[in-house]
A and B are shown apart, each in its own frame.
Chain A
């Protein structure tokens, strides 16, 4: 009964949080357990969308938008592209192998139990309303920080992209005499 009472008393925000969380975890589990890689991709996109919803709940609107653009828009399209391009068959023999799944669950579960226990034992930090800045997650704040304090790392990310770009081209491109795929 107590649980029921708790559920009844949930506020709108709490309702949203729990609903989106369930969606997130469902998407995550779907990603790793789907036999068909395309389904995995779609589940993952679902996870990303629900994460964006979390960001909105946390008042990080700009990140919510960027998350969808970068992850769902760019990264997942790349995944989908490769999956379809390589025409990977939906075979996942490893998932029928209970031992692998159980082993992974035990190891993952152990780490999980420790993390959860540690989190449960830590008192939740409270928001300090006096110092709270409503504009924390707004685009102006982030933009200003990015171009002042974080200018150097911001510029250096371009080095990373240069490596990734030339590297990907170098490794991925077709050489003379090779089949397309």
Chain B
């Protein structure tokens, strides 16, 4: 068996050991198995990388023929190319660190073994998602990660709202998956295959703006909206913070939520063929980035702030994709994986230190108590705010430059969002780590730095957040953009269908100016946050006392309520309704006021209600009559009229 197949195999084995041996395996073995599985995957990835680099060709590793039915042939095969290898590094690398972190973080939990089993299962699904050589394997991974995220969010299902959050996440993901699945069937219809290589090859022969490609890309993007939490399917992500913090870091920051971006980059030929979809993606991304950033401004839950920030950053990635800057969008995926995982793990460390307190209004002055966490958290904050030379600066700036070229209004909005990002992140940092401690005495006594299994991942990620941006220097620095060079072969198809692809028209002076402006904005935001929360020592307000716009922001724009009304309620209502087509009360209501028939059915159902055989047979007979009318009604009426007309003549 080749090395490639081993990559997802290790987590699967880890899952099987910890999952099947749940309760039987001693606790001391659980963590080494779980971490070991991730680490072995990472090592294998490194080996595969060298193998790939040696000849530079896309490797297709077929395992077996999956299904052949009516002209459609789908094989179970893995594809290793530039895109999947980078995703593999992120998933296994960050995954290993987070597994390590979980060892310390979850050590007191009774479901320790179960947790590692789920984490490994998640890794397995995520690896399937990025390694598959066709859309079906991607879809299976796609559903698999959704399922694992569901399991992991609901991990502490003692509290009922955790269960609800989990279900919400799953249902929203399913809505997205619906789009994805329809997209897959459309691809089968259009191309007769699901293998990436042959789909893209065939696609290169198509015209720009092909309508069926537009439908395909649009449906696939609906899937991405669900998985990558874009408007309107994003409210599950903040709720998903109910899960354990390592899960938030791994699934809801570094890996799963970026699978939408992976999918678009993977299908870049199709998206390039459909400029309309791209425009739509760009605007959805812009709106999401702005909306989520504005909600994050006044949240007091440390994890909620980070969650909305993730949604907002995902928005930036989609803006990048939408303006055809696939590399820039993907670049941001990489850097974001570093600094957002760092921030989440840091937050977890804070929560750990604060004895499970998540409210930043009860924190403050933690800097001296937990120095490593604070320092690494600061690095993460700077990185996400876009201050040079940290990772976030390079990737975000590249996206913004492309947006400026594409559409000035969109650029302005993106800048506003970027300003807000810097502000709320520094607000979070200052409120948590500076000033006076606002919590209880007990919490203060209990403050302690986390164990080394938790701090080591923080330090590693902090290092990556500092240097991670150097893989993609802007052109104006006259240094190589390693990432762009590496990913370049992926876009051969796009270049073939759109000669304009990848050409930059910005002058160097404009680019310098843009860069300076965004750094300036971030610095100003930092200053404002410092002024409000450090100088003035403003206390974070209780959301119930906020007025006007602030309150709306804090209440997340009432979106959950809107969903309740628009989506959950109708299903509930419909459920009740269908129920009661056999129930007298609803029948009463439905047919009320329609004369004799009403009172007839009323009495019928009063007497017969649900459970009555007579009523059932009546319904059957009505159905028979209806079907007869449906099937033959028009025909009979036609013939009668023709006879009637013949007679009158």
Q: Do chains A and B touch in the complex (CB under 8 A)?
A: yes
Bound: A117/B633 CA distance, A? 10
6 A-B pairs with CB atoms under 8 Å apart are: A97-B607, A99-B604, A102-B596, A104-B618, A108-B621, A117-B636
Per-residue contact bits, chain B 357-373, to A (CB 8 Å; 1 contact, 0 not): 00000000000000000
Residue of B nearest to A115 (CB): B628
Contact A107 B640 (CB under 8 A): no
Determine if A144 is an interface residue (Cβ-Cβ < 8 Å).
no
Q: Please indicate the chain A residues that have their CB under 8 angstroms from the CB of B632 in the complex.
A: 114, 118
Chain B residues whose C-beta falls within 8 Å of the C-beta of A94 in the assembled complex: 607
The interface on chain A, measured as residues whose beta carbon lies within 8 A of the other chain's beta carbons, has a size of 17
Q: Does B552 contact A (CB under 8 A)?
A: no
Give B601's nearest chain A residue, CB to CB. Answer: A103
Does chain B have a CB within 8 A of A159? no
- What residues on B are CB-neighbors of A136 within 8 Å? none
A103 vs B628: C-alpha distance when bound (angstroms):
18
- In the bound complex, CA of A118 to CA of B631 (Å): 12
Closest beta carbon of chain A to B351's beta carbon, Å = 65
The answer to whether B607 touches A111, judged by C-beta atoms less than 8 angstroms apart, is no
B603 and A97: CB pair below 8 A?
Answer: yes
Interface membership of B622, Cβ < 8 A:
yes
| 8 Å CB contact of A103 from B618, B636, B640 | B618
A100 in contact with B607 (CB, 8 Å): yes
CB distance from A48 to the nearest CB of B (A): 23
Interface residues of B in 579-604 (CB under 8 A from A): 596-597, 599-604
Most buried by A among B596, B604, B625, B636: B625
Is A121 interfacial (CB-CB < 8 Å)? yes
What is the CA–CA distance of A107 and B628 in the complex, to the nearest angstrom?
Answer: 12
Expressed in whole angstroms, the Cα–Cα distance for A127 and B628 within the complex equals 29
> Which chain B residue has the least Cβ–Cβ distance from A104?
B618
Known: A99-B599, A114-B629. 15 other contacts (CB 8 A): A94-B607, A97-B603, A97-B607, A99-B603, A99-B604, A100-B603, A103-B600, A103-B618, A104-B618, A106-B597, A111-B624, A117-B636, A117-B640, A118-B636, A121-B639
User: Residue-by-residue, is B607-635 near A (CB-CB < 8 Å gives 1, otherwise 0)?
Assistant: 10000000000100110110011001100
Beyond A99-B600, A108-B621, is A114–B607 a contact (Cβ under 8 Å)?
A: no
Cβ contact within 8 Å between A107 and B621 = yes
Chain A residues, Cβ within 8 Å of B599: 99
**A110 at interface (Cβ–Cβ under 8 A)?**
yes
B316 to chain A, nearest CB (A): 62
B600 contact set on A, CB distance < 8 A: 99, 102-103, 106
B628 pairs with A111, CB closer than 8 A? yes
- A114 proximity list for chain B (CB < 8 A): 625, 628-629, 632-633, 636
Which residues 111-134 of A have a CB within 8 angstroms of B? Answer: 111, 114-115, 117-118, 121
Assembled-state Cα–Cα distance A26/B320 (Å): 82
CB pair B604 A100 closer than 8 Å: yes
Q: Which residues from chain B sit less than 8 Å from chain A, CB to CB? A: 596-597, 599-604, 607, 618, 621-622, 624-625, 628-629, 632-633, 636, 639-640
The 9 A-B residue pairs with the shortest CB-CB distance, nearest first, are: A99-B603, A99-B600, A110-B625, A114-B628, A103-B600, A107-B621, A117-B636, A111-B625, A121-B639
Q: What CA separation (Å) do A114 and B634 show in the bound complex?
A: 11
CB proximity of B345 to chain A, nearest CB, Å: 67
Contacts of B622 in A (CB 8 A): 107
A103 proximity list for chain B (CB < 8 A): 600-601, 604, 618
Query: Given the complex, which residues of B lie within 8 Å of A107, measured CB to CB?
Result: 618, 621-622, 625
| Chain A 43-84 residues near chain B, CB threshold 8 A | none
**Beta-carbon contact of B621 and A111 below 8 Å:** yes
For the complex, what is the distance from the CA of A115 to the CA of B639, rounded to whole Å? 14
Query: Shortest Cβ distance from A105 into chain B, in angstroms?
Result: 10
Residues of B within 8 A of A118 (CB): 632, 636
Q: Which residue of A lies closest to B622 (CB)?
A: A107
Contact A121 B604 (CB under 8 A): no
Q: Which residue of A lies closest to B637 (CB)?
A: A117
Chain B residues with CB under 8 Å of A102's CB are 596, 600
Rounded to whole Å, the gap between the CB of A99 and the closest CB of chain B is: 4
Complex contacts, B640 vs chain A, CB 8 Å: 117, 121
| B600 (CB) vs chain A CBs: closest residue | A99
Write the nearest CB–CB distance from B614 to chain A, whole angstroms: 8
| Chain A residues whose C-beta falls within 8 Å of the C-beta of B625 in the assembled complex | 107, 110-111, 114
Most A CB contacts (10 A, CB to CB) among B597, B618, B621, B624 go to B621
* Chain B nearest CB, measured from A127 CB (Å): 25
CB of B72, distance to nearest CB on chain A (Å): 40
A9 to chain B, nearest CB (A): 24
Assembled-state Cα–Cα distance A103/B622 (Å):
10
Q: How far is the CB of A180 from chain B (nearest CB, A)?
A: 27
Interfacial chain B residues near A108, Cβ < 8 Å: 621
Q: Tell me the complex Cα distance, A102–B595, Å.
A: 13
User: What separation, in Å, do the CA atoms of A114 and B603 have in the docked complex?
Assistant: 26
**Complexed CA–CA distance, A99 and B624 (Å):** 20
Give A142-162 as 1s and 0s: 1 = Cβ < 8 Å from B's Cβ atoms.
000000000000000000000
Complex CA distance for A143 and B320, rounded to whole angstroms: 84
Q: For the complex formed, measure the closest distance between the CB of A150 and the CB atoms of chain B, giving whole angstroms.
A: 30
C-alpha spacing A148/B639, complex, angstroms: 44
Task: Give chain B nearest CB distance to A111 CB in angstroms.
Answer: 5
Q: Which residues of A contact B596 (CB under 8 A)?
A: 102
- A2 CB, nearest partner CB in chain B, Å: 16
**How far, in angstroms, from A111 to B607 measured CA to CA in the complex?**
24
Contacting residues, chain A, for B639 (C-beta < 8 A):
121
Cα distance, A108 to B640, chains bound together (Å):
21
Instruction: Give Cα distance in the complex from A72 to B597, angstroms.
Output: 39
Complex-state Cα separation, A97 to B607, whole angstroms: 10
Residue in chain A with minimal CB distance to B636: A117
Question: How many Å from the CB of B54 to the closest CB on chain A?
Answer: 70
Min CB gap A153→B, angstroms: 27
B596 to chain A, nearest CB (A): 7
Could you tell me the distance in whole angstroms from the C-beta of A114 to the nearest C-beta in chain B? 5
A40–B621 alpha-carbon span in the complex (Å): 23
Closest to A93 in B: B607
Nearest CB on B from A118, distance (A)? 6
What is the chain B residue whose CB lies nearest that of A100? B604
Measured CB to CB, the closest approach of chain B to A91, in angstroms, equals 15
Residue of A at shortest CB range from B626? A110
CB-defined contacts of B604 to chain A, threshold 8 Å: 99-100, 103
CA distance A50 to B237 in the complex (A): 75
Q: How far is the CB of A121 from chain B (nearest CB, A)?
A: 5
Q: Contact between A121 and B636 (Cβ–Cβ < 8 Å)?
A: yes
Chain A residues, Cβ within 8 Å of B636: 114, 117-118, 121
Residues from chain B with Cβ under 8 Å of A97 in the complex: 603, 607
Q: How many angstroms from the CA of A117 to the CA of B625 in the assembled complex?
A: 13
In the bound complex, residues from chain A placing their C-beta under 8 Å from that of B618 are 103-104, 107
